[in-house]
Amino acid sequence: MHCALVAIFALLAVYAQAQNCNGKLSAAVRKTIVDLHNKYRSEVARGIATMKGGKKTPQASNMNKLVYDCQLERETQAWVDKCQKAHSPNSRNASENLYFAWGGSNTQETHLPRAIASWYSEISKYDASDPQNALTMNMIWAESTLVGCGFSNTCPDNMVYVACRYRKMGNYLNRSIYKKGAPCRKCESGRGCSAYEGLCVA
């Protein structure tokens, strides 16, 4: 019962926070961003994500559930609005994923989910810990707790630009993405467990 209540309160907190940003993204898209990230993090935490060769990811004992962060959105949006096809030099200790597209629909409702799915799809090409798997590694870095994204469909040449940032910053060389073990077994002190997701929650 306790785990169920924790999960409900965590879900309500995520939705409420996603509503309160004052930026280009809609509240519905922010919620989609959080939901998709946590869906994929849950798959890894529960050991059901598929890596290269059809292998399943080891379970994660300390995978945090992400919460949407308005400050990260503002920082990311400021960079995306520059329309530069490169990582920001001022990401302020946050990991960063980029996505570009041309043609077809140019809406945030189309491209935010598409960007997140494309980053996560890299896990099927590599082992989870492969350095070439940086896009997925940023998304599933266990210690990260915050995500915020930016979107533009006004760049030159009809380019659609999506970026998401994650904090705590992850993707460090020679450090594990997460601790292996039963889900929620090693949540940080003070964090609860969303048992059905296998994610640690604030």
Q: pLDDT of 86-138, one tens digit each?
A: 999 877 789 999 999 998 899 999 999 999 999 999 888 876 556 567 778 89
Question: Mean per-residue pLDDT for 182-195?
Answer: 97
Q: pLDDT of 36-69, one tens digit each?
A: 999 999 999 999 999 988 999 999 999 999 999 9
pLDDT at position 146, please? 98
| Structural domains in the chain (count) | 1
pLDDT at 5 over 70: no
Cα–Cα distance measured from residue 43 to residue 159, given in angstroms and rounded to the nearest whole number: 31
Segment of 126-130, 149-153, 172-176 carrying the highest mean pLDDT: 149-153
- Host domain of residue 145: 2-201
Predicted TM-score of the model (pTM) = 0.87
- 43 CB contacts (<8 Å, ≥6 apart)? 49, 57
pLDDT at 149 over 70: yes
- For residue 144, the domain's CATH number is 3.40.33.10
Cα–Cα distance measured from residue 177 to residue 157, given in angstroms and rounded to the nearest whole number: 37
158 vs 10, more confident: 158
Cα–Cα distance measured from residue 76 to residue 73, given in angstroms and rounded to the nearest whole number: 5
pLDDT at position 22, please? 86
Cα–Cα distance measured from residue 50 to residue 41, given in angstroms and rounded to the nearest whole number: 12
